[in-house]
Structure 1
Amino acid sequence: MAKLIYVTNVSLDGYIEDERGDFNLFPVDDEVFVCYTDIVRSAGTFLYGRRQYEAMAVWETNDALAAQSDLTADFANAWQAASKVVYSGSLSSASTADTTVERRFDPGAVKEMKATANSDLTIGGANLATQAFKAGLVDECQLFVLPVAVGGGKPGLPTGMRTDLDLVDERRFRNGVVHLRYRPREQEAPARSAQ
């Protein structure tokens, strides 16, 4: 069975965007960019909310991005190779190839995707990821923690629920970014009392 992996950038204080909705918190260097590309290349399907999809679709719709360097060309090719599923009640059609628009997040359909996929799936967008966490579908959480505190905005991890995580791996980059990989901890069922 394939894994569903939540991948996101977060500020040191835990936000994916600041109070103005800006998520370009700092320029990414080549070392971090190569790590992103490796994650993208390993996934066969990306699950996105509308805003996250629109931010990423430029890797297919704007040829100038891929033309900037060999690294950006590699990322664009990796991104375009995967299937995409966009969850949106307002998006009428997709601007990229191999993309399906779904009106609502269906945990059963995602569970089926995981069961039949040949490679891992990633999920992007905090609201969508929260739904997947609540449904118990997230198998791994990868955070790129940025060396900046923004003081408020949209949280990168679910609020209003507890999720215990085990650290699987960590990597420090020269520019101060830390890549953390976590796996949700299996919750033990409460012991039954003898009657």
Structure 2
Amino acid sequence: MGRLLCTGLTSLDGYIADERGDFSWGEPDVAVHAFVNELERSVGTYLYGRRMFEVMRYWETAHERPDRPAVERDYTSLWQAADKIVFSTTLDDAGTKRTRLERRFDADAVRDLVRSSTRDVSIAGPGLAAHAFRAALVDEVRLFLHPVVVGGGTRFLPDGVRLSLELAEERRFDNGVVFLRYRVR
């Protein structure tokens, strides 16, 4: 049985993007990216909201850019090998391989997917992830806290949800990023 993982590259004050939608401050350096790659090796399926998918769709063709660093080429391979489910009422076609569209979030269907999976399932996009948090589906929360305060924007974690967490792992990187992995109790 897989686990449902929710990972975020966040500011210290809990945002994945600032009020203008900028998230460039969260771009991982080589060490953080390599660590992310190792974490992502267990993922067999990505669940995305439309906006997050539009950001991640970059990885569908990233291999066509030979100037990319090895760590990015590695992530490209991981992303392309995984299945993707995009939850959107506006997209007509995802335009990427191994991707299907769903019009609405069905907590029971996601629960069944995770239970029947031999690999982990990752959920990304704060709006979509909020549904999973509210349905008590998330097994782990993974945070990459960046040494920046942005003061507002798109929050990683939803309001109105209370979770009891157990710290399972922590790591500090030379660039000041701190990784925290929590199991949901």
User: What TM-score, normalized by structure 2, do the two folds share?
Assistant: 0.95
**Alpha-carbon contact 1:66-1:76 (below 8 Å) kept:** no
Name the counterpart of 1:157: 157
Cα displacement (A) at 1:30: 0.7
Kept in 2, the 8 Å contact 1:65–1:72? The answer is no
Aligned pairs (5 A) from 1:91-110: 91-110=91-110
- 1:161-189, Cα deviation, whole Å (9 max, x unpaired): 2222111110110100011001112xxxx
Which consecutive residues of structure 1, in runs of 5 or more, have no partner in the other structure? 186-195
**Following the alignment from structure 1 to structure 2, what is the Cα–Cα distance between the partners of residues 169 and 66?**
34
Q: Does 1:183 align with 2:183?
A: yes
Larger radius of gyration: 1
1:6 counterpart residue number: 6
**Contact 2:133–2:161 (CA<8 Å) still a contact in 1?**
no
Specify the code of the residue in structure 2 equivalent to 1:184.
V
Size of the aligned set, in residue pairs, is 185
Q: For the residues of structure 2 that align with 1:116 and 1:16, how far apart are their CA atoms?
A: 30
The answer on whether the counterparts of 1:45 and 1:84 sit within 8 Å (CA) in structure 2 is yes
Pairing of 1:110-121 with structure 2 (within 5 A): 110-121=110-121
RMSD (Å), alpha carbons: 1.3
Structure 2 equivalent of residue 174 of structure 1: 174
Q: Which residue of 2 aligns with 1:37?
A: 37
The match for 1:16 is 16
Contact 2:10 2:26 survives alignment (8 Å): no
Q: Aligned partners of 2:30 and 2:134: how far apart in 1?
A: 34
TM-score w.r.t. the length of structure 1 is 0.91
On the 8 A contact 2:9/2:26 being kept in 1, the answer is no
Name the stretch that deviates more: 153-162 or 126-135: 153-162
* Identity of matched residues, %: 48
* Alpha-carbon distance in 2 for matches of 1:67, 1:56: 19
Q: 4+ residue stretches of structure 1 with deviation over 3 A?
A: 62-67
Q: Deviations over 1:64-88 (max 9, x none)?
A: 4564122111110011000000000
Offset at 1:26?
Answer: 4.2
Pick closer, same or farther for the CA change 1:66–1:43 going to 2, 3 Å. farther
Q: For the residues of structure 2 that align with 1:147 and 1:92, how far apart are their CA atoms?
A: 38
Q: Distance between the aligned counterparts of 2:66 and 2:123, measured in 1?
A: 23
Q: What is the DSSP-based 3-state SS (H/G/I as helix, E as strand, rest coil) of the residue aligned with 1:20?
A: coil
Alpha-carbon distance between aligned partners in 2 of 1:87 and 1:130, rounded to the nearest angstrom: 13
The one-letter code matched in structure 1 to 2:86 is V
In 2, Cα distance between the equivalents of 1:102 and 1:93? 11
